[in-house]
A and B are shown apart, each in its own frame.
Chain A
Amino acid sequence: MSEKQAIQPNIGSSFHQENIRRKSRFAIVFILLAIAFCVIVVININSGNVHIPISQIVKILFTHAGPDKDVNIIWQIRLPRILVAAVLGGGLATSGFLLQTFFENPIAGPFVLGISSGAKMVVALVMIFGLLHGLTMNSWTYIIAAFVGSLMSTGFILLVARRIRNMAALLVAGIMIGYICNAITDFVVTFADDSDIVNLRGWSLGSFSGMSWSNVWISIGVIGVTFVLVMLSAKPIHAYQMGEAYAQSMGVNIRFFRIVLILLSSILSATVTAFAGPISFVGIAVPFLAKAFLGSSKPLVVLPANFLTGAVFCMLCDLIARLAFAPVELNISTVTSIFGAPIVIYILINRRRGRNG
């Protein structure tokens, strides 16, 4: 009797208790991700073809003082590259998460759905048009071109998705769009002979190299603002995860929200493509990892964790791309594929098993 009474009071809501337990898990995940972020930044700055001692790096970072060559390497090459990799990685992961929500499909992403390739194609066409006519293009032109290309591919995918509700078929359609866009890109790149095309070729395979500070600020600006908008949509995104009919019954204006989702994810993947070219599998692998870390799919916590994980993932992959066969640099997609593709296979197998069981 007295035992029972001792247990009963202050037990509160059991769901409340559960949520408190979850919050501590979330906190741990975020702390670990922040640590991983810092560690990878330090390693990244500290490694390269030219060795610079850590004490020197710290000095250069905080005082700008030191040998001119080293200051240049740190401030003009390594730091912008790291920052861009982090921001674009986060943007790509966010874009993937939005597309997965939209298509109710865990292996949707800007790369597999051909959205990155569409963006790449339009950017390549614009670049070559500019080269032929002697026009100089700025970053904004490329971002807008990439955005147009993203929307074109997405529109096509939507047409297909309306007819086919099958997850694998959607993917095949996306990959085919990717092939078509890549073929057109290759075609124009091959026939436009110019010395600048070398640049274009490197970009069209995906790379974080050669980033200027203006690239850094623009990508931080565009992706930052878009990410804030995404975070403000965390609530309807959560409703949307329940399926459209339920989301509507919860008060979401579905027609409007569908457009918002598509626009936000297209802006993100377009910005990434405009600066770094198409980068494969980050959009699928990272959201999967972030959700697994947190043990939750609630957008309010998954989105920031996903962004951080994407940043860490891309910085790590870029590090590997730079160092694995130095001084030869790998394409970023080569590295992200090695990590990302197995995760996609794992998701596919696991899904199948879940359905049979």
Chain B
Amino acid sequence: MDKKYFSIDHLSVGYNKQVLIRDICVDIQKGEIVTLIGPNGAGKSTILKSITRQLSLLGGQVLFDNKDIMGMSFKEISQKMAVVLTERMKPELMTCADIVATGRYPYTGRLGVLTPEDEAKVDAALAAVNASELAGRDFNAISDGERQRILLARAICQEPELIILDEPTSFLDVRYKLELLSILTRMAKENDITIIMTLHEIDLAQKVSDKIVCVHGETIYAYGTPAEIFEEEKIKNLYNIDNGFYDPVFGSIELAKAEGEPDVFVIAGGGSGISTFRALRKENRAFITGILHKNDIDYELARLLAAEVVTEEPFEPIGETAIEQAKAAIDGCKEVILCDVPIGQMNQPVKELIAYAEDQGKLIG
């Protein structure tokens, strides 16, 4: 009870008195990274707008350090909570340092004059997001990735306990995405800053978050640690995916299996098959693969992409059953593709398969 830091309690949110999502209950500990995921239009941003008081709450309450945020003054909140929004800022004649300096607003006097300490904090915030060289540039003349970093620096400069970010990685290329998220994780771990954000990239959400909130339908669909949330079925249901797969092990998204009768057999193993699997999927060609141990790296992908996988139990030598199964499959195929499989103690029989395919004149690659 007393360990609650930021607590969303039976919250209902929506626009114009119309409830969009009801009964949201989420408890967040200090220093945690909590990510809201869910399909477009599910109401992720609506939840963020409600807990930042841009929208009025339509039921329930939000407690910050056991205090109802609706009872706090805007000033009090502004010294604890900073935001990075999707709303496009169009400031005039302001440099990036000026934008960051607006983060000092809750701490300056009646007229908002910056002290040398405030100015030093602006420099420090810029340095924290590796953007010192942008300080003197016009904010309207920088790229999207740079803009996000400046807005994050602005939030840092506000010295909050909690930062709320709405889709901070949209429009950023991979490098900036990774950079931004690593800054966030560093802040959470080193400075004990709590982070609540929405992300579109579920693969990244899985890797950086301590807790995941799945927003879908009338109420939140699931809430828990990434390990609890990132199960194939949950993610498929959350996004209503019927034309692809989510791989919870690698956090990657794969197309659905090719349809039709498999006419090619891939001899793979030890990661040698991955590029072949993807290439076949791209050609929309159904295939069978084997013989893979269930702990083989190829197996994870084959499971999602292959029409059929001939398998063996982990750490067991490949047995007769599997060999017979594979041979039968090769009989039914027109071609056999041989990947660069390393052959060792456990998969000796693969040699036998290669020879079998060669005898039938089906072996290529």
Find out whether the CB atom of A242 lies under 8 angstroms from the CB atom of B74: no
How many interface residues does chain B have, given as a range? 35 or more
Cβ-closest chain A residue relative to B132: A14
| A242-B89 in contact given A15-B119, A251-B77, A252-B74 (Cβ < 8 Å) | yes
Find out whether the CB atom of A245 lies under 8 angstroms from the CB atom of B116: no
- A56 interfacial contact with B, CB 8 Å: no
Find out whether the CB atom of B116 lies under 8 angstroms from the CB atom of A12: yes
Chain B residues 100 to 129 lying within 8 A of chain A, measured CB to CB, are: 101-103, 105-106, 108, 110-114, 116, 119-120, 122-123
In Å, the complex CA distance between A249 and B83 comes to 7
Find out whether the CB atom of B119 lies under 8 angstroms from the CB atom of A16: yes
Find out whether the CB atom of B78 lies under 8 angstroms from the CB atom of A251: yes
- The interface residues of chain B lying within 8 Å CB-to-CB of A295 are 93
Cβ-closest chain B residue relative to A253: B74
B54: contacting residue among A248, A250, A251, A291, CB under 8 A: A248
- A110 interfacial contact with B, CB 8 Å: no
In Å, the complex CA distance between A42 and B113 comes to 35
Interface bits A225-239 vs B (CB < 8 Å: 1, else 0): 000000010110011
Find out whether the CB atom of A239 lies under 8 angstroms from the CB atom of B93: no
- The interface residues of chain B lying within 8 Å CB-to-CB of A242 are 89, 91, 99, 102
Instruction: Tell me, rounded to whole Å, the shortest Cβ–Cβ distance linking B242 to chain A.
Output: 36
Instruction: Tell me, rounded to whole Å, the shortest Cβ–Cβ distance linking A50 to chain B.
Output: 45
A300: contacting residue among B54, B74, B102, B111, CB under 8 A: B111
Find out whether the CB atom of B122 lies under 8 angstroms from the CB atom of A235: no
- The interface residues of chain A lying within 8 Å CB-to-CB of B98 are 298
A246: contacting residue among B79, B85, B108, B135, CB under 8 A: B85
- B136 interfacial contact with A, CB 8 Å: yes
- B279 interfacial contact with A, CB 8 Å: no
Q: Which of B90, B94, B101, B132 has the most CB of A within 10 A?
A: B90
B85: contacting residue among A19, A245, A253, A300, CB under 8 A: A245
Find out whether the CB atom of B106 lies under 8 angstroms from the CB atom of A243: no
- A70 interfacial contact with B, CB 8 Å: no
Interface bits A5-19 vs B (CB < 8 Å: 1, else 0): 000000011111011
- B4 interfacial contact with A, CB 8 Å: no
Interface bits A286-321 vs B (CB < 8 Å: 1, else 0): 000001000111101000000000000000000000
Which A-B residue pairs are the 6 nearest by beta carbons? Answer: A251-B78, A235-B112, A251-B75, A250-B105, A16-B119, A297-B92
User: B residues within 8 Å of A by Cβ?
Assistant: 49, 52-54, 73-75, 77-79, 81-83, 85, 87, 89-95, 97-99, 101-103, 105-106, 108, 110-114, 116, 119-120, 122-123, 132, 135-136, 140, 158
